[in-house]
Protein backbone atom coordinates (compact mmCIF):
# COMPACT_ATOMS: atom_id res chain seq x y z
CA UNK A 1 0.00 0.00 0.00
CA UNK A 2 1.32 3.43 -0.97
CA UNK A 3 0.13 6.73 0.48
CA UNK A 4 0.90 10.41 0.20
CA UNK A 5 1.90 12.13 3.42
CA UNK A 6 0.27 15.52 3.95
CA UNK A 7 0.96 17.89 6.82
CA UNK A 8 1.17 21.52 7.91
CA UNK A 9 4.52 22.70 9.24
CA UNK A 10 5.07 25.78 11.36
CA UNK A 11 8.56 27.26 11.19
CA UNK A 12 10.33 28.77 14.19
CA UNK A 13 9.63 32.22 12.72
CA UNK A 14 5.90 31.50 12.72
CA UNK A 15 5.23 30.86 9.04
CA UNK A 16 3.00 27.87 8.28
CA UNK A 17 3.47 25.83 5.13
CA UNK A 18 1.56 22.81 3.80
CA UNK A 19 3.47 19.87 2.33
CA UNK A 20 2.43 16.81 0.33
CA UNK A 21 4.85 14.00 -0.45
CA UNK A 22 5.10 11.76 -3.49
CA UNK A 23 3.53 8.30 -3.02
CA UNK A 24 5.57 6.21 -0.57
CA UNK A 25 5.15 2.85 1.16
CA UNK A 26 2.74 3.21 4.08
CA UNK A 27 5.21 1.84 6.66
CA UNK A 28 7.78 4.41 5.58
CA UNK A 29 5.19 7.19 5.70
CA UNK A 30 4.43 6.32 9.33
CA UNK A 31 8.12 6.45 10.27
CA UNK A 32 8.54 9.83 8.60
CA UNK A 33 5.40 11.13 10.32
CA UNK A 34 6.73 9.94 13.69
CA UNK A 35 9.94 11.93 13.13
CA UNK A 36 7.92 15.00 12.14
CA UNK A 37 5.78 14.74 15.26
CA UNK A 38 8.94 14.81 17.40
CA UNK A 39 9.75 18.29 16.09
CA UNK A 40 6.60 19.65 17.76
CA UNK A 41 5.96 21.91 14.78
CA UNK A 42 3.71 19.77 12.61
CA UNK A 43 -0.06 19.85 12.53
CA UNK A 44 -2.85 18.05 10.69
CA UNK A 45 -0.80 15.05 9.62
CA UNK A 46 -2.87 13.05 7.16
CA UNK A 47 -2.34 10.15 4.76
CA UNK A 48 -4.17 9.46 1.50
CA UNK A 49 -4.05 6.22 -0.47
CA UNK A 50 -4.28 5.80 -4.24
CA UNK A 51 -8.06 5.37 -4.07
CA UNK A 52 -8.52 8.73 -2.32
CA UNK A 53 -9.19 7.35 1.17
CA UNK A 54 -7.79 9.44 4.01
CA UNK A 55 -6.31 8.21 7.30
CA UNK A 56 -4.92 9.79 10.42
CA UNK A 57 -1.87 8.26 12.11
CA UNK A 58 -3.73 5.65 14.18
CA UNK A 59 -6.09 4.74 11.36
CA UNK A 60 -3.17 4.08 9.02
CA UNK A 61 -1.48 1.88 11.65
CA UNK A 62 -4.64 -0.22 11.84
CA UNK A 63 -4.98 -0.38 8.05
CA UNK A 64 -1.38 -1.57 7.66
CA UNK A 65 -2.03 -4.34 10.19
CA UNK A 66 -5.10 -5.41 8.20
CA UNK A 67 -3.25 -5.25 4.87
CA UNK A 68 -0.47 -7.51 6.13
CA UNK A 69 -3.05 -10.28 6.45
CA UNK A 70 -3.87 -9.96 2.75
CA UNK A 71 -1.70 -10.44 -0.36
CA UNK A 72 0.03 -7.21 -1.36
CA UNK A 73 2.96 -5.87 -3.45
CA UNK A 74 1.76 -8.05 -6.32
CA UNK A 75 3.77 -8.63 -9.50
CA UNK A 76 2.19 -10.60 -12.34
CA UNK A 77 4.45 -11.92 -15.12
CA UNK A 78 2.78 -13.42 -18.20
CA UNK A 79 3.75 -14.96 -21.52
CA UNK A 80 1.92 -16.69 -24.34
CA UNK A 81 3.23 -18.93 -27.11
CA UNK A 82 1.46 -20.03 -30.30
CA UNK A 83 2.14 -23.13 -32.39
CA UNK A 84 1.13 -22.36 -35.99
CA UNK A 85 1.03 -26.04 -36.96
CA UNK A 86 -1.16 -27.37 -34.14
CA UNK A 87 -3.02 -24.09 -33.51
CA UNK A 88 -2.39 -24.61 -29.80
CA UNK A 89 -1.43 -21.82 -27.41
CA UNK A 90 0.70 -22.15 -24.30
CA UNK A 91 0.03 -19.74 -21.43
CA UNK A 92 2.46 -19.12 -18.58
CA UNK A 93 2.10 -16.92 -15.51
CA UNK A 94 4.18 -16.18 -12.42
CA UNK A 95 2.79 -14.21 -9.49
CA UNK A 96 4.87 -12.76 -6.68
CA UNK A 97 3.26 -11.29 -3.57
CA UNK A 98 3.77 -10.66 0.14
CA UNK A 99 1.48 -11.72 2.95
CA UNK A 100 2.06 -11.64 6.72
CA UNK A 101 5.63 -10.46 6.05
CA UNK A 102 6.32 -13.57 3.94
CA UNK A 103 7.07 -13.70 0.21
CA UNK A 104 5.30 -16.12 -2.13
CA UNK A 105 5.61 -17.24 -5.75
CA UNK A 106 2.83 -18.83 -7.78
CA UNK A 107 3.63 -20.59 -11.08
CA UNK A 108 0.97 -21.94 -13.42
CA UNK A 109 0.45 -22.74 -17.08
CA UNK A 110 -2.29 -23.90 -19.42
CA UNK A 111 -2.81 -24.95 -23.02
CA UNK A 112 -5.63 -23.54 -25.16
CA UNK A 113 -6.97 -24.31 -28.61
CA UNK A 114 -8.85 -22.16 -31.12
CA UNK A 115 -6.74 -19.01 -30.77
CA UNK A 116 -5.45 -17.47 -33.98
CA UNK A 117 -2.14 -15.73 -33.28
CA UNK A 118 0.74 -15.21 -30.89
CA UNK A 119 -0.66 -11.81 -29.90
CA UNK A 120 -3.96 -13.44 -28.97
CA UNK A 121 -2.07 -16.03 -26.91
CA UNK A 122 -0.28 -13.23 -25.07
CA UNK A 123 -3.58 -11.56 -24.23
CA UNK A 124 -5.06 -14.89 -23.14
CA UNK A 125 -2.08 -15.49 -20.85
CA UNK A 126 -2.63 -12.18 -19.09
CA UNK A 127 -6.36 -12.86 -18.74
CA UNK A 128 -5.46 -16.26 -17.29
CA UNK A 129 -3.14 -14.60 -14.77
CA UNK A 130 -5.67 -12.02 -13.63
CA UNK A 131 -8.23 -14.77 -13.11
CA UNK A 132 -5.68 -16.52 -10.90
CA UNK A 133 -5.30 -13.36 -8.78
CA UNK A 134 -8.93 -13.71 -7.78
CA UNK A 135 -8.24 -17.19 -6.39
CA UNK A 136 -5.81 -15.62 -3.91
CA UNK A 137 -8.20 -12.82 -2.88
CA UNK A 138 -5.93 -10.20 -4.42
CA UNK A 139 -7.99 -7.02 -4.76
CA UNK A 140 -8.29 -3.29 -4.00
CA UNK A 141 -4.73 -2.27 -4.88
CA UNK A 142 -2.31 -1.44 -7.68
CA UNK A 143 -0.42 -4.37 -9.16
CA UNK A 144 2.55 -4.58 -11.50
CA UNK A 145 1.84 -6.36 -14.79
CA UNK A 146 4.99 -7.40 -16.62
CA UNK A 147 5.48 -9.10 -19.97
CA UNK A 148 7.60 -9.07 -23.12
CA UNK A 149 4.68 -8.51 -25.52
CA UNK A 150 4.99 -4.99 -26.91
CA UNK A 151 1.47 -5.25 -28.30
CA UNK A 152 -0.26 -6.24 -25.06
CA UNK A 153 1.69 -3.91 -22.78
CA UNK A 154 1.43 -0.84 -25.00
CA UNK A 155 -2.21 -1.35 -25.96
CA UNK A 156 -3.40 -1.90 -22.39
CA UNK A 157 -1.30 1.02 -21.17
CA UNK A 158 -3.05 3.21 -23.75
CA UNK A 159 0.11 3.92 -25.73
CA UNK A 160 -0.96 2.05 -28.88
CA UNK A 161 -4.41 1.79 -30.51
CA UNK A 162 -6.00 -1.64 -31.02
CA UNK A 163 -7.94 -2.24 -34.23
CA UNK A 164 -8.10 -6.05 -34.12
CA UNK A 165 -11.55 -7.22 -32.91
CA UNK A 166 -10.12 -10.40 -31.37
CA UNK A 167 -7.52 -8.47 -29.38
CA UNK A 168 -10.11 -5.88 -28.39
CA UNK A 169 -12.24 -8.71 -26.99
CA UNK A 170 -9.37 -9.86 -24.76
CA UNK A 171 -8.51 -6.30 -23.74
CA UNK A 172 -12.13 -5.73 -22.69
CA UNK A 173 -12.13 -8.97 -20.69
CA UNK A 174 -8.91 -8.02 -18.91
CA UNK A 175 -10.11 -4.53 -18.04
CA UNK A 176 -13.44 -5.90 -16.78
CA UNK A 177 -11.66 -8.47 -14.59
CA UNK A 178 -9.36 -5.83 -13.13
CA UNK A 179 -12.33 -3.58 -12.40
CA UNK A 180 -14.23 -6.42 -10.74
CA UNK A 181 -11.29 -7.00 -8.38
CA UNK A 182 -10.72 -3.26 -7.90
CA UNK A 183 -7.21 -3.62 -9.26
CA UNK A 184 -5.20 -1.02 -11.13
CA UNK A 185 -2.57 -2.35 -13.52
CA UNK A 186 0.84 -0.73 -13.77
CA UNK A 187 2.22 -2.05 -17.07
CA UNK A 188 5.90 -2.63 -17.79
CA UNK A 189 7.49 -4.11 -20.91
CA UNK A 190 10.31 -6.60 -20.33
CA UNK A 191 12.83 -8.17 -22.63
CA UNK A 192 12.53 -11.93 -23.17
CA UNK A 193 15.37 -12.73 -20.77
CA UNK A 194 13.67 -10.82 -17.96
CA UNK A 195 10.49 -12.79 -18.64
CA UNK A 196 12.13 -16.19 -18.99
CA UNK A 197 10.19 -17.83 -16.15
CA UNK A 198 6.77 -17.16 -17.67
CA UNK A 199 8.16 -17.94 -21.13
CA UNK A 200 9.40 -21.33 -19.96
CA UNK A 201 5.99 -22.14 -18.45
CA UNK A 202 4.26 -21.27 -21.73
CA UNK A 203 6.67 -23.54 -23.59
CA UNK A 204 6.06 -26.39 -21.15
CA UNK A 205 2.32 -26.02 -21.67
CA UNK A 206 2.78 -26.52 -25.42
CA UNK A 207 4.70 -29.71 -24.65
CA UNK A 208 1.87 -31.02 -22.51
CA UNK A 209 3.65 -30.39 -19.19
CA UNK A 210 1.14 -28.97 -16.72
CA UNK A 211 2.65 -26.84 -13.94
CA UNK A 212 0.90 -25.47 -10.87
CA UNK A 213 2.72 -24.51 -7.66
CA UNK A 214 2.81 -22.05 -4.80
CA UNK A 215 5.99 -21.64 -2.74
CA UNK A 216 7.08 -19.52 0.17
CA UNK A 217 10.41 -17.99 -0.82
CA UNK A 218 13.16 -16.49 1.31
CA UNK A 219 12.86 -12.80 2.08
CA UNK A 220 15.50 -10.72 0.35
Tens of pLDDT, residues 148-175: 999 999 999 999 999 999 999 999 999 9
- Please report the pLDDT score of residue 65 as a whole number: 86
Could you tell me the domains of the chain?
Answer: 2-67 (no CATH), 72-217 (3.30.420.10)
Average pLDDT of the residues in 125-147:
95
Check if the beta carbon of residue 60 is closer than 8 Å to that of residue 3.
Answer: yes
Average pLDDT of the residues in 53-70:
88
Check if the beta carbon of residue 214 is closer than 8 Å to that of residue 103.
Answer: no
Kindly report which listed range (47-51, 147-151, 172-176, 195-199) carries the lowest average pLDDT score. 47-51
State whether the Cα torsion 187-191-193-197 is positive or negative.
positive
Q: Across all residues in the chain, what is the average pLDDT?
A: 93
- Please report the pLDDT score of residue 219 as a whole number: 56
Q: Is 123 exposed, middle or buried (0-12, 13-18, 19+ CB in 10 A)?
A: buried
Tens of pLDDT, residues 19-28: 999 999 899 9
Distance of alpha carbon 45 from alpha carbon 123, whole angstroms: 43
State whether the Cα torsion 64-65-66-71 is positive or negative.
positive
End-to-end Cα spacing for the chain: 19
Give alpha helix (H) positions in 139-186: 150-156, 165-180
Q: What is the pTM of this model?
A: 0.80
Distance of alpha carbon 155 from alpha carbon 136, whole angstroms: 27
- Looking at per-residue pLDDT, the higher value among 204 and 2 belongs to 204
Amino acid sequence: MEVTLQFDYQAITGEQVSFKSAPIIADQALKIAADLIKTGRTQLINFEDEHGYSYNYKQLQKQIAVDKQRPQFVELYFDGGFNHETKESGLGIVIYYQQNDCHYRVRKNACLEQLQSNNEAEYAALAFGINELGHYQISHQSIKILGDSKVVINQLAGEWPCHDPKLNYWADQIEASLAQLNLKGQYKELNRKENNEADRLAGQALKGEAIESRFKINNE
